[in-house]
Amino acid sequence: MPALDLAALTALDVHTHVEQDGHGCFALDRELLDASAKYFRADQDRTPTVAAIAEHYRARNMAAVIFTVDAPAGTGHPSLSSEEIADAAAEFPDVLIPFGSVDPHAGKAAVARARRLVTEHGVRGFKFHPSLQAFEPNDTAFYPLYEAVTELGVPALFHTGQTGIGAGLPGGHGIKLRYSAPMLLDDVAADFPDLTVVMAHPSVPWQDEAISIATHKANVYIDLSGWSPKYFPPQLVKAANTMLRNKVLFGSDFPVITPDRWLADFAELEIKDEVRPLILKDNAVRMLGLS
């Protein structure tokens, strides 16, 4: 299989989820899967395999960053294997870029595992979901993990803002939104200036915080996943067109939002012609160190 051909790609989606492995296991329990599908009004396959994701993006001449969220301490649910996901993604190097995930509560074991995921399994970054993993990202107890990720030279992508996981359930299934406030990541970005931090999603209800952090910290990006572009906060659209034109990234949140749906709505958004290719591919290529 040929390697990634950046020049031939029309777009690079930095935010796609693997929700099912090859053993019949799922990343979330059925109640959470159903609640998120309802929240996103997703009527397509909610749990595609790695091979299915590769086929979906290859058919569209796109590449995708794929990952799961390792959150057994926060959810009590067994996680999918980031090692298996990365190894499966290696079969599709022309279209898939694997990220790893480790549970921050695992302490030294999480640090050691993060190192192995990069050195032995070829992951190109890490995904964290503070609300699902139930941790405050600026707690210095987790700083050894960020130190390792920084030394490994790969980015860390953090969920921010509202989450569809648990939405509409009693108590939100116990998931706490405050862990995903962007301002907690300002501490991380300041204390680890050599760590590339990606704040995932329009960070509602903290959008202005996210814009401020990405403007202030050279090492911080924003991905635009998890929302149809027609619902983007107006200040985010303005920032993407101007001062953050080199800091915003195309992400869909596949499978709950498909790239087709996202791109169709993005085409109607008032984004300057010269900015569109930056958002759809060029910024991600730079952020991932692929150029």
For the stretch 172-198, pLDDT in tens is: 888 999 999 999 999 999 999 999 999
pLDDT confidence tier of residue 75, bands split at 50, 70 and 90: confident
Q: Which residues pair with 96 in a beta bridge?
A: 64
Compute the half-sphere exposure of residue 52: CA atoms within 13 Å on the CB side of its CA.
16
Residue 282 lies in a domain: yes
Residue 1 lies in a domain: no
Cα(152)–Cα(258) distance, integer angstroms:
31
Nearest alpha carbon to residue 55 among 100, 102, 6, 88: 88
Q: pLDDT for 159-172, tens place per residue?
A: 999 998 878 888 98
36 half-sphere exposure, CB direction, 13 A CA radius = 27
- The answer as to whether 97 is a domain residue is yes
Give per-residue pLDDT as tens, 218-233: 999 999 999 999 999 9
Mean pLDDT of the chain: 92
Domains in the chain: how many in total?
A: 1
Residue 43 counted as domain residue: yes
Backbone angles phi, psi at 214, to 5 degrees: -65, -30
pLDDT at 52 over 90: yes
Residues 70-89, mean pLDDT to the nearest whole number? 89
Contact between residue 145 and residue 113 where contact means Cβ atoms under 8 Å apart? no
Instruction: Determine the structural domain holding residue 201 and report its residue range.
Output: 6-287
**Is residue 89 one of the residues assigned to a domain?**
yes
Question: Residue 268 domain-assigned?
Answer: yes
Alpha-carbon span 188 to 197, nearest angstrom: 8
pTM: 0.93
Kindly report the backbone phi and psi dihedral angles of residue 192, in degrees, each rounded to the nearest multiple of 5, phi listed first. -130, 75
Top pLDDT among 22 and 106 is at 106
User: Within a domain: residue 283?
Assistant: yes
Domain annotation covers residue 61: yes
- Would you call 272 exposed, middle or buried from its count of C-beta atoms within 10 A (0-12, 13-18, 19+)? exposed
Alpha carbon distance 18, 80 (integer Å): 9
Burial of 245 (0-12, 13-18, 19+ CB in 10 A): middle
| pLDDT over 70 at 279, yes or no | yes
CATH number of 99's domain: 3.20.20.140
The DSSP call for residue 250 is -
- Alpha helices per DSSP H over the chain: 30-40, 50-58, 72-75, 82-89, 108-119, 130-133, 143-152, 183-191, 207-216, 234-241, 259-266, 276-277, 283-287
- Listed in sequence order, the residues at least 6 apart from 276 whose beta carbon sits closer than 8 Å to its beta carbon are none
> Cα–Cα distances in Å, from 225 out to 55, 171, 199?
20, 24, 10
Question: Helix or strand or coil: residue 156?
Answer: strand
